[in-house]
């Protein structure tokens, strides 16, 4: 695309730029050094006509409209790597990229796959387009029965916010069941919301649909207020991020932990239960919204290391420098779109990294990942023997549950 030097309409750039200052730490964008670190660390920066640093350059040149004419921002998977490595500490993902996507959505410029997920969220409260009434169907057959709060109305210690993919995705349901069994064995008094639970909305927010996110948050907030519990745990790092960092500003504030943190606290109780040996080299993939964004790196590793037989190995991208599975920020619903642009998937890069460590198991802690990485092991021939397991699945297997 040809870029003219004359601004098309400086007011468009100005309106957009000043809107960034309304977001937390948005004004830091003024301190951009144009060093290009963000564009370099961005996993899809090489394919974007306007990677993050260049967007800031375009804003300063008052030609932001040109950015909106490209579909660059739909390659952003909101992995937060740009923000984590920015020497000026600019929250590039949450401020610049998310607002730019919002502009695309307000202009009605939405790839059809993403549109379907957003419409499903609005209509059914989940991006998969599943019936809300079936949200707790994964619990069928589990003994003891999982406590669905609308049925029992009993106060619980722990409200387990299960999340969209952990509730509905057929591959993830085995991990969700595994966690239910673990919580039962540990004697945790927990309950779920089942059909009353709505999408956390965080990935929709990071895909630029702020209004939809707020609608989901308000609906969840209303349901939370109906029941008595001491804390929330969640299977989903995206829900964890929303509940921890975004919901409080909307007046929905509860103590929340990812399930790996919750189990880590009970590690001494868990250790004697880990009877079965799982003899394997295991590489752990840090989910973006558990690790890089919220600093939970050690607990998942400690849980894995406690399983007899497991030898933990590290991939080249790890901890704060982890490589996104490609599912964040709307990426889960832009698979075809991104494939057309890149002819590769981040999940495929990641399984290549896993096999480079000679790992036999790729361990994960986010519901987007088992299906994404399992698909990748089917398209990368060298990875065909690599097993993708959720941490809860490995723990349950070792506990013989």
Partner 1 sequence: MKIAVPIKFVPDLVEELTIDPSGTALDTTWLRLIINELDDHAVEEAILLKERTGGEVTVLSAEADGVDDFLFTAAAKGADRLIKLTGDFSAADNHALGRAFADVIKELQPDLILTGVQAHNDLDGSVGPLLAEYLGLPYVGYVAGVTLAGDKVTARKEYSGGLVAEVEVQLPAVLGIQAAEQPPRYVAYSKIRQVMGTAKIEERPVSGLESSGGVVVSRMFQPEVAERATMLEGSPEDVADKLVGLFKELGTL
Shortest reach from residue 214's CB to partner 1, in Å = 8
Nearest to partner 1 of 126, 318 (CB atom): 126
Let me know: does 235 contact 163? Beta carbons within 8 Å: yes
- Work out whether 135 is an interface residue with partner 1 (CB under 8 A): no
**Applying CB under 8 A, which of residues 50, 124, 259, 368 lies at the interface with partner 1?**
124
Nearest to partner 1 of 29, 212 (CB atom): 212
**Residue 15 backbone phi and psi in degrees, to 5:** -60, -45
Give every CB contact of residue 355 below 8 A, 6+ residues apart in sequence.
380, 382, 383, 386
**Applying CB under 8 A, which of residues 69, 133, 226, 378 lies at the interface with partner 1?**
133
The binding track of 210-229 with respect to partner 1, each residue x by CB under 8 A or -, is xxx-xx--------------
Shortest reach from residue 338's CB to partner 1, in Å = 18
Query: How many CB atoms within 10 Å of residue 157?
Result: 13
Tokens of 233: 């745990």
**Applying CB under 8 A, which of residues 62, 164, 202, 209 lies at the interface with partner 1?**
209
Nearest to partner 1 of 114, 149 (CB atom): 114
Nearest to partner 1 of 246, 393 (CB atom): 246
Shortest reach from residue 256's CB to partner 1, in Å = 24
- Work out whether 122 is an interface residue with partner 1 (CB under 8 A): yes
Alpha-carbon distance 6 to 63, whole Å? Answer: 8
User: Which strand (E) or helix (H) includes residue 299?
Assistant: helix 298-306
Alpha-carbon distance 360 to 368, whole Å? Answer: 20
Shortest reach from residue 227's CB to partner 1, in Å = 24
Report helix, strand or coil for 256: strand
- Work out whether 123 is an interface residue with partner 1 (CB under 8 A): yes
Let me know: does 71 contact 208? Beta carbons within 8 Å: no
**Helix 10-20 and helix 98-106, axial crossing angle in degrees, nearest 10:** 130
The binding track of 95-114 with respect to partner 1, each residue x by CB under 8 A or -, is -------x--xx-x-x-x--
Shortest reach from residue 115's CB to partner 1, in Å = 4
Let me know: does 333 contact 127? Beta carbons within 8 Å: yes
Nearest to partner 1 of 7, 195 (CB atom): 195
> Biggest alpha carbon distance in the chain?
69
Nearest to partner 1 of 108, 187 (CB atom): 108
Task: Please report where in the chains the tokens 């409209």 appear, as a residue.
Answer: 65
Shortest reach from residue 106's CB to partner 1, in Å = 5
Nearest to partner 1 of 215, 396 (CB atom): 215
Give the 3-state secondary structure of 35-90. CCHHHHHCCCHHHCCCCHHHHHHHHHCCCHHHHHHCCHHHHCCCCCHHHHHCCCCC
- Work out whether 336 is an interface residue with partner 1 (CB under 8 A): no
Tokens of 92: 């590039």
Nearest to partner 1 of 168, 240 (CB atom): 168
Alpha-carbon distance 111 to 334, whole Å? Answer: 7
Task: Give the footprint of partner 1 on this chain (CB under 8 A).
Answer: 102, 105-106, 108, 110, 112, 115, 118-119, 122-124, 129-131, 133, 209-212, 214-215
């Amino acid at each position: 695309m040809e870029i003219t030097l004359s601004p098309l309409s400086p007011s468009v750039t100005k309106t957009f730029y000043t809107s960034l200052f309304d977001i937390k730490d948005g004004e830091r964008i003024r301190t951009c050094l144009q060093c290009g670190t963000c564009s370099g660390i961005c996993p899809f920066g090489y394919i974007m006509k306007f990677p993050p640093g260049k967007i800031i350059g375009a804003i300063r040149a008052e030609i932001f409209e040109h950015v909106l004419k490209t579909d660059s921002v739909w390659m952003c998977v909101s992995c937060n790597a740009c923000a984590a490595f920015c020497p000026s500490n600019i929250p590039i993902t949450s401020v610049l990229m998310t607002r730019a996507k919002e502009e695309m959505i307000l202009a009605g410029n939405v790839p059809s796959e993403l549109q379907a997920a957003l419409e499903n969220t609005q209509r059914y409260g989940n991006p998969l387009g599943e019936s809300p009434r079936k949200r707790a169907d994964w619990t069928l057959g589990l003994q003891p029965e999982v406590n669905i709060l609308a049925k029992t109305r009993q106060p619980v210690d722990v409200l387990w916010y299960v999340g969209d993919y952990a509730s509905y995705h057929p591959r993830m349901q085995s991990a969700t069941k595994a966690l239910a069994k673990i919580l039962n064995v540990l004697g945790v008094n927990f309950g779920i919301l089942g059909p009353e639970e709505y999408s956390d909305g965080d990935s929709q927010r990071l895909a630029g649909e702020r209004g939809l996110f707020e609608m989901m948050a308000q609906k969840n907030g209303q349901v939370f207020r109906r029941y008595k519990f001491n804390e929330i745990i969640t299977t989903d790092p995206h829900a964890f991020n929303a509940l921890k960092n975004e919901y409080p500003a909307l007046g929905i504030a509860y103590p929340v932990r990812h399930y790996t943190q919750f189990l880590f606290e009970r590690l001494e109780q868990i250790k004697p239960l880990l009877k079965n040996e799982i003899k394997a080299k295991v590489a752990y993939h840090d989910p973006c919204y558990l690790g890089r964004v919220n600093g939970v790196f050690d607990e998942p590793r400690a849980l894995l290391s406690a399983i007899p037989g497991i030898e933990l190995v590290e991939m080249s991208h790890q901890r704060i420098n982890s490589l996104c599975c490609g599912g964040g920020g709307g990426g889960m619903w832009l698979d075809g779109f991104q494939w057309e642009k890149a002819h590769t998937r981040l999940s495929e890069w990641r399984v290549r990294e896993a096999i480079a460590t000679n790992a036999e198991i790729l361990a994960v802690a986010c519901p987007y990942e088992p299906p994404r990485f399992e698909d990748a092991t089917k398209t990368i021939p060298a990875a065909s023997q690599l097993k993708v397991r959720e941490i809860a699945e490995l723990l349950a297997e070792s506990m013989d549950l």
